[in-house]
Chain A
Amino acid sequence: MSSLLKRGQILHGSNTQTAYEIETFLGAGTQGEVYQAKTNGQLVALKCYFPQYIKTDPNCQQRLEKAISKGNPDSNFLWPIELVFTDKTPLFGYVMPLRADHYKSIVDLMKRRIDPGFRELITACLGLVESFLHLHAKGFCYRDINFNNIFLNPQTGDILICDNDNVDVNGVSGAINGTPRFMAPELVRGDAAPCTESDLFSVSVLLFYMLMLHHPLEGKKEADIRCFDQAAMNRLYGNEPVFIFDPRDNSNYPVKGLHDNALTYWPLYPQFIRDLFIRAFTTGINDVQHGRVRENEWRNALIRLRDSMVYCACGAENFYDSEQLKEGQQQVCWSCKQPLIYPPRLRIENTIVMLNHDTRLYLHHIDKTRRFEFSQAAAQVTRHPQDPNRWGLQNLSDQSWTITLTDNTVKTVEPQRTVNLNAGIRINFGSVQAEIRV
């Protein structure tokens, strides 16, 4: 139920004097109401604050002005575009891009209303980490990272980050210090002001949440709490935080029946991902300055994770785990429990990329100077048109590759041509060397 603005009402932008016409009410939060508005045939979202809220957060306008003048860190943020004011009343708010309906919240993920594949989920995690890297690089911290503010397109893994009006520069204590469940322990205890390091903790919690569909600190200790109160929250997230999979402390291990998602998903991921989470929630809890996993570490790990995906014959998505193989353990599919059969692989420098029927390589993989570029495919796995048992890697880039066969003959693979996926073939992409493993 809306109360602040009426359909057809006009608000004016403070920078551009643009007229925004209120169309429909989208929803209310604790701070204000959000409407769909129209300007020059374009749709935007407009948030209008409750006057009473502004009294409790007097820096709100200043904070928004700072955010608007610095500009959005990247287009994943539904960033404030400009402030708006009403003509006669003292109401104010801001306009931001409108979130399309096909973006779903993490809550929808928990409720299984959407069911993205691992690839899309990891892509969403990656987008998130990169966006927070961009945010932090601009000197901002988000302060209120939690799953209500993150939306994803389950078909593509694209993400949107909403509710950017709490974003502030590093180290400023403000009205919002975050949601206890997603806050760094030192903030829950009240020992520190929000900063990049505290955001990093929240990012790790969010990533864990998205990949395991569970909170990293909610295990036996949570189950033992009969009635949840503030003291209990302070204990779980502030004073005595223990990772549910802490290898040296099982006092907070997940409880069967209550924390099943954690127990189900944790073993599905390769050891290197689990190791990173273990660090994030052990040393990362205590060593605020040096212990936390940084965006770039997550970024590399998530890309590696996406490159580790393999399909079992039963159709289930699994992850290649080189550490497990080194220990001589055979990997079995989590779904059908049959031994996993690996597709051909590409060893690129010291990483392994699984060459599934639908794998694409990007500039990130084959050009050292273009790391993290995933916008255009540079190679794709293809099936031989006459012989369905023969697979190849097609050159989609505009550079020729040089390949060395096992008998040391050297050949050139022109753009659009394909190299057979045969064991031992080495590919020179220019700045990067790779070898096909079968």
Chain B
Amino acid sequence: MADIQWRTIGASVKGALHHRNGKPNQDAWAHSDSFHCMAVADGHGSAKHQRSDIGARLAAEITVKLLEEFANQPFDIRLIKEVSSYLPGKIVQGWREAVVRDHQKLELSGDPPQNSGEASDTAEQNQAAIYSLYGTTLLAALVTEDYALYLQIGDGNLLVLNDAGKIETPLPQNATFIANETNSLSQANAAHHFEQKVVFFDYQPPPVLISLSTDGYINSYPSPVEFETVIKDIKQLLFKQGGEKVQAMLPDWLDETSQQGSGDDITIALLYCFPDS
């Protein structure tokens, strides 16, 4: 499978609602130029999480960096699954450190968070409150010649289109969570709440397309089926018109979708591997 060429495209647009209320886009995405990996994050938004736009950006960037390092290791293939189980912990650790650095920077520049007046009892609670300011979800994927690796915490959609044209969801969908609140990179023990999977290509062919999207996208459609159709349509367009063209049009489509649909920020990142004319 040496001739397979993976490419990434993606876009993130501010929700129609956020245009009206002046909030920033709280989604972010990142991808690698040297390896086939990408990440999408959806900051929680509300006042409690007022820096979640930064949190989302940091999450996406750090994850892509760690996935690059991971892909760059000469592992014994048998250990991939095992070693990958440390990624959530390392992502959480890296993200928290970046968050604390950002927080200190903002404090120094005299930009404390608004209404964080409630004094916390302990240093730990303080710490947790800082993480929470930056709270975000995270989706990520990495493909190599031998395997695909998928990671997720919190809501959002990770879809895979296989070579038979069928949509698969390699990670368990809507893992139970109490009180309709999403899992978050900022929660205690976050590493335990990641879903992750390694799929080897020894016995099944690699997918043709991997899609990561924030829930603003799927929520713009009446049901998951319509959303899946959109993903298949994008694949067709990529196939017919090529990546550059689709990349150029993607933000407009997402804008339109948000306006007609959820009103939320929408972000999508795609890894695909068929001829890009």
> Which residues of chain A have a CB within 8 Å of any CB of chain B?
1, 3, 28, 30, 50, 52-53, 110-113, 179-181, 222-223, 225-230, 233, 256-258, 260-261
Contact = CB atoms under 8 A, between A and B. Distances in A.
Contacts of A110: 192
A258 B88 CA distance: 11
Nearest to B193: A111
Q: Which interface class (under 10, 10 to 19, 20 to 34, 35 or more) fits B?
A: 20 to 34
Nearest to A175: B78
Nearest to A56: B78
A136 B67 CA distance: 40
Interface of B: 66, 69-70, 73, 75-76, 78-79, 81-83, 85-87, 89-90, 92-94, 96, 124, 127, 162, 168, 175-176, 188-189, 192-193, 200, 202-204
A146 B69 CA distance: 26
A1 B76 CA distance: 25
B76 A230 contact: yes
B166 to A, nearest CB: 8
A109 to B, nearest CB: 10
Q: Is the interface of B mostly helix, strand, loop or mixed?
A: helix
Interface of A is mostly: loop
Contacts of A111: 175, 192-193
A351 B163 CA distance: 64
Contacts of B93: 223, 258
A181 B82 contact: yes
Given A113-B175, A228-B86, A261-B189, A3 B76 contact: no
A228 B75 contact: no
A113 B192 CA distance: 11
B69 A257 contact: no
B202 A50 contact: yes
B45 to A, nearest CB: 24
Contact of B96 (A3, A112, A179, A257): A257
17 contacts: A1-B162, A1-B204, A28-B203, A50-B202, A52-B202, A111-B175, A111-B193, A112-B192, A179-B82, A226-B94, A227-B69, A227-B90, A228-B70, A257-B124, A258-B92, A258-B93, A261-B189
Contact of A230 (B79, B87, B188): B79
A206 to B, nearest CB: 15
Contacts of B200: 30
A28 B200 CA distance: 10
Nearest to A236: B86
